[in-house]
Amino acid sequence: MLAIGRYVKNRYILFCLGCIVVIGGLHGLFLKLVEQVPSFSPLLFPTLTIFLLVFHLFIACFMVMKYWCDKRRLYLVAIAFAFAGSALLMIGTLSSFPAWLHLYQFNVINYNDAMIFYMFRHLLMAILIIVSALLYIIRDYPLSRLAHIAIVVGALIFTLFMVMLAWLYSSHSPLLSVDLVDNETRQFMMLWSHAVNVILLILWAVTLVTLMVITRVRNLFWVSGNFLCVCYIMTLSMLLVGGHAEDISWYRARLFETIATLLIIFVLMYDVFNLYHDSHLKYQQSYQNSIRDPLTRLYNRSYFYDALSQTLSTAKASRPVSVIVSDLDRFKRINDCYGHLQGDKVLQFVANLLMDSVRPQDIAARIGGEEFVLMLANTSSEAAHQVAERIRLNLSSFDKTSSEGQLPEPITISMGVFTATSSDVAAETCVECADKAMYEAKETGRNRVVVFQ
């Protein structure tokens, strides 16, 4: 059973199973569509081509933006040129369907040109995707600026060359010619059925194997790339089974390619969402580290003063703001007798007690070595005194046993309370007044709470 579990968990097996499920679902969807619509409009093929063109432009722009964010990902450039060149070649495909632009030219369709652009589109994409896989291998090796530029320019020249070559082989140029489809009978020629289609199938199979070996299907991005190869193998297989243009295989291949590309876009968008989610978590973690004390995880001095200033701006008699400054009694003796490590445990214990003793909207901060401060919004002086007294009594009730060794001996705390009832009071003044009350508590015997008068 364990061997079977490891076999099923293998990412290659999971990828193959996923492809089978998706392809089976798309095939079932197409069969349902054929039952509902037995014949298709001549405009369906150019309409799907338009959607596919937009999808490929979207993916090309997406790859360029990812490359722009991280110039080390040079392999993204090859993928971007693959989809951008594919979009340009689909413009040539649309030019073969004048019915898309002219309402009364339904029968003037150059199927041979459409297949020529289709052939060069697959050649361009397969070769550039193999190049991207090879560039992925050297992603961690630093390249010189000259080599970097040479690779980008080389991909651009190759893309333009393939587009120009497709244009020269089509009916738009008398220089070269190749017959893949008979425009009169719409039958596929032997060159397409027995040579070109088979070569393209082999090329995409090599591309798929190359991607799977190099990338190991390690993340969603490369899952989508491998799935793209599978999709093109399926579309070429559909056309290999079909005998002529405009038959059911002709439309099924283009519909399958369009929907599969849309699924790839969804996968890429999900990949972007994961990247954003991870970066957002890292930003939140970095932000929390910048506003919190690293030892106690209470807020630090800077954040406390900012929060207090913002809260004081709305302070009034009906919405008082209370500040409690507290200091551990004879804490230096703890460090001298038990060591600084034990002293840190005492500070962490007191910090947790403070956080558990106030409301979620209140602020607990560490502003000095053993000095802590609380901000209680919308809290009167009497209520703040009760909170401070509860904290003092709670802390003094712990000893070494009840604190599970975090306190080496009973600890006491002195606390001072100040309440602001006007927005004219500055944050520094609030802390200073509460600090004075705390020192009064120290001077009058420690382990007590004093309200500033």
Element (H, E) at 190: helix 190-191
Task: Verify that 210 and 343 share a domain, yes or no.
Answer: no
More confident residue, 450 or 143: 450
Residue pair 203/236 in contact (Cβ under 8 Å)? The answer is no
Instruction: Give the separation between CA 73 and CA 138, rounded to whole angstroms.
Output: 10
Task: Verify that 332 and 211 share a domain, yes or no.
Answer: no
Report the percentage of the chain scoring pLDDT > 70: 94
Task: Verify that 257 and 137 share a domain, yes or no.
Answer: yes
Task: Verify that 253 and 366 share a domain, yes or no.
Answer: no
Task: Verify that 83 and 179 share a domain, yes or no.
Answer: yes
Task: Verify that 193 and 335 share a domain, yes or no.
Answer: no
- The answer to pTM > 0.75 is no
Residue in the structure block whose two tokens are 């619509």: 37
* Domain carrying residue 93: 2-287
Task: Verify that 215 and 318 share a domain, yes or no.
Answer: no
Lowest mean pLDDT among 94-98, 210-214, 224-228, 417-421: 94-98
Domain of residue 387, CATH code? 3.30.70.270
Domain assignment present for 320: yes
Task: Verify that 43 and 172 share a domain, yes or no.
Answer: yes
Catalytic option among 370, 404, 432, 443: 370
Cα 437 to the chain's mean position, in Å? 51
CA distances (Å), origin 152, targets 11, 83, 101, 128, 145 = 32, 15, 35, 12, 11
For the cut 70, the answer to whether the pLDDT of residue 106 exceeds it is no
Query: What confidence tier does 99 reach under pLDDT thresholds 50, 70, 90?
Result: low
Domain assignment present for 292: no
Domain assignment present for 358: yes
Domain assignment present for 17: yes
Whether residue 370 lies in the annotated active site: yes
Instruction: Give the separation between CA 286 and CA 379, rounded to whole angstroms.
Output: 31
Domain assignment present for 100: yes
Domain assignment present for 205: yes
Domain of residue 124, CATH code? 1.20.1070
Task: Verify that 236 and 327 share a domain, yes or no.
Answer: no
Task: Verify that 278 and 379 share a domain, yes or no.
Answer: no
Domain assignment present for 296: no
Q: What is the pLDDT of residue 1?
A: 43
pLDDT single digits (tens) 33-88 = 777 776 766 677 788 888 899 999 999 999 999 898 888 889 999 999 999 999 99
When divided into structural domains, the chain yields a total of: 2
pLDDT single digits (tens) 392-403 = 999 999 999 999
Domain boundary among 238, 260, 287: 287
Question: Which structure tokens are listed for 436?
Answer: 């004075």
Domain assignment present for 294: no
pLDDT single digits (tens) 242-274 = 777 777 888 788 888 888 888 888 888 887 788
Task: Verify that 31 and 103 share a domain, yes or no.
Answer: yes
Task: Verify that 142 and 252 share a domain, yes or no.
Answer: yes
Residue pair 60/83 in contact (Cβ under 8 Å)? The answer is yes
pLDDT single digits (tens) 191-209 = 988 899 999 999 999 999 9
